Amino acid sequence: MSGGREGDGNGARAPAEAACRGGTHIVIDLAAQRLRLYQGRRLLDEYPVSTGANGAGEWQGSGCTPRGRHVVRAMIGAGAAENTVFVGRRPTGERYSPALAGRHPGRDWILTRILWLSGQEPGFNRGGRRDTLRRFIYIHGCPDSEPMGIPRSHGCIRMRNWDIIALFERVEKGTPVEIREQADG
């Protein structure tokens, strides 16, 4: 991982610590467009994702997916129906459909569940104009018509709705999330 941080062991510290404690943690591999869920060092599941169309980066307004150590700060949408539409982290009462999309062209669809991320590295992804939480970076569901494996988001990590439901049930507030340009396994 790049970014000029000192002593971070290529950004692997948080998952390595979680692995040593046997904790559940997430590693997002931007190059592979994959999200991996671990319990300790054991891979539990792997999901295709779509990350920032503008690549990796931490700056507000960049449209990039932030790198480094994060945690799940909030979990939104428990019990919501698949395809529930969220705006400002609140359900709108709508359910996504192609007809609804046709009435709102260009809308950035945030569906089903939201895992709101908070950066854990002051000066890199926390604080100032590089703050993941203030950038409203989420792991969230998206329309089935959106391709996975291709960076197309505005910086968030998009998942299939059934995948975000499954992931949501397996993590909790405070779960470590490492976002890497390229994961080593």
84-132 residue pLDDT tens: 999 999 999 999 999 999 999 989 999 999 999 999 999 999 999 999 9
Number of domains in the chain: 1
Mean pLDDT of all residues in the chain? 91
Q: Is residue 115 part of a domain?
A: yes
Q: Is residue 20 part of a domain?
A: no
Q: Is residue 16 part of a domain?
A: no
Q: Is residue 30 part of a domain?
A: no
Q: Is residue 11 part of a domain?
A: no
Q: Are 115 and 167 in contact (CB under 8 A)?
A: yes
178 bridge partner residues: 27, 69
Q: Is residue 157 part of a domain?
A: yes
Q: Is residue 34 part of a domain?
A: no
Q: Is residue 17 part of a domain?
A: no
Q: Does 7 have pLDDT greater than 70? A: no
Q: What is the CA radius of gyration of the chain?
A: 16
Q: Which domain holds residue 72?
A: 50-173
> What b/e readout covers 107-123, taking b as 16+ CB neighbours within 10 angstroms?
eebbbbbbbbbbbbbee
- Token code pair at residue 109: 């669809």
Q: What is the pLDDT of residues 157-178, one digit of tens each?
A: 999 999 999 999 999 999 999 9
Burial (CB count <10 Å: 0-12, 13-18, 19+), residue 103: exposed
Q: What is the rounded CA–CA span in Å between residue 19 and residue 44?
A: 12
